[in-house]
Amino acid sequence: MSLVCRFVVAAATLHLRRQQAPVEIPKDLDWNEVTEFAEHHGLTPLLCWNLRAYNLSVPKSSALEAHSRIAGAQAVKLSAVLVQVISDLSEHQIPVLAFKGPSLAAILYSNVTLRSYADLDFLFLPEDIKLARIVLQEKGWAAVEDIASIHEESFLRSQCEIGLLRNETLLELQWALAPRFFSLDLPLEAMMRRAVTVEVIGVPVKTLAADDLFLALAVHGAKHLWSRLGWVVDIAALLGSESIDGSRIAGIALQCHLQRIVAVALLMAEKIGDVRIPAELRTLMAQDPQASAMASALFQNAVSGAEQFPPESLAYFGMFAQMRERRMDRVLLFVRLFLTPGSSEWRMVHLPSGARWFYHPIRVLRLAKRLLRGAW
């Protein structure tokens, strides 16, 4: 790790350590690089909070504190929007959970300003997503993608979220944790039944219970190949809360074939701090020797900023496939990836309902063309 990376990771995770070791500010530290690194990884609020808590001074010339104040103001603004959105949905008795964003900051730190987030995520049951979209559009939220002009039913089956925008604020309405081709099937209905309540700016908000939250965060990090260390710190902080049940997490991971995804999440967390890992999850980690090599590769990719796995590239999908322990899931990923039509295919040509099967070969041909051009 570079000097900047070592310092940011050490200082931003001081609150996670059971035995506090002093963190010294190197004399030749480039604070512009510190600010850039912390911003990229979503660690600015935690970094500044820890530096203040441990009386470590930041040069007045640094933009770090200014970035932290901006992130804090954004967090308060988004928290107010979250509360209003949930209120609007509750008027129509639409079950909804807040996910990540302010609710996660409230769970981990009891302070919505100690995480960086630029949008708001909500979880719904699939059957409620249409009404939720309609209700919010009536409140002035506009769809980022006009799914009505493509194929709404196909979109809802194959994708996982709809974006709504108002006054430069983005809402992501999710009915799954990943698009269908990822083959990441968590029991969302059962997870919503186990929901807990957390206070966001003094208002009770429903969100995922700790065990389900851990699994959802592990899947989210895996989906993005853990490219931001802020997501790793979230996992470490959740482990440190001592509110998770290792046996239940291991059981759901086994049932949903997510053992390696969970193991990689745990190993990533171990690389950034002194984390408490329940015995059942340590057993899960030990059962998969490949997970350690994967975590090391992903951690190195994140801290170096090398972009070894550009999003939507074959390298990206190849790396993600390795995070599935079953060959069947790896094969299914690529089969669904090549055969599941998306917005690009729907916009190329509008087919009547009886001919929609033709979108599948269109998808194959389009991706094959990208592959031959080296665009993948």
Distance in angstroms (rounded) separating the CA atoms of residues 50 and 63: 16
Average pLDDT for residues 230-249, to the nearest whole number?
A: 92
pLDDT at 53: 86
Residue 347 has pLDDT above 80, yes or no: no
The pLDDT-based confidence of 298 (bands split at 50, 70, 90) is: very high
The helix/strand count (H/E) of the chain reads as: 18, 7
Among the residue ranges 79-93, 143-157, 201-215, 306-320, the one predicted with the least confidence is 143-157
| b/e 188-208 (16+ beta carbons within 10 angstroms → b) | beebbeebbebebeeeebbbb
Q: Write down the CATH number for the domain with range 68-208.
A: 3.30.460.40
For 108-162, the pLDDT digits (tens) are 999 999 999 999 999 999 999 999 999 999 999 999 887 655 677 778 888 899 9
Domain boundaries, the chain: 1-62, 68-208, 209-312, 328-373
Among the residue ranges 8-12, 120-124, 200-204, 262-266, the one predicted with the least confidence is 8-12
User: What is the number of other CB atoms lying within 10 angstroms of the CB of residue 78?
Assistant: 21
Does the pTM surpass 0.95? The reply is no
Residue 306 has pLDDT above 80, yes or no: no
The pLDDT-based confidence of 374 (bands split at 50, 70, 90) is: low
Angle at CA of residue 323, ends 270 and 129, nearest 5°: 100
Distance in angstroms (rounded) separating the CA atoms of residues 144 and 367: 24
Residue 85 has pLDDT above 90, yes or no: yes
The pLDDT-based confidence of 375 (bands split at 50, 70, 90) is: low
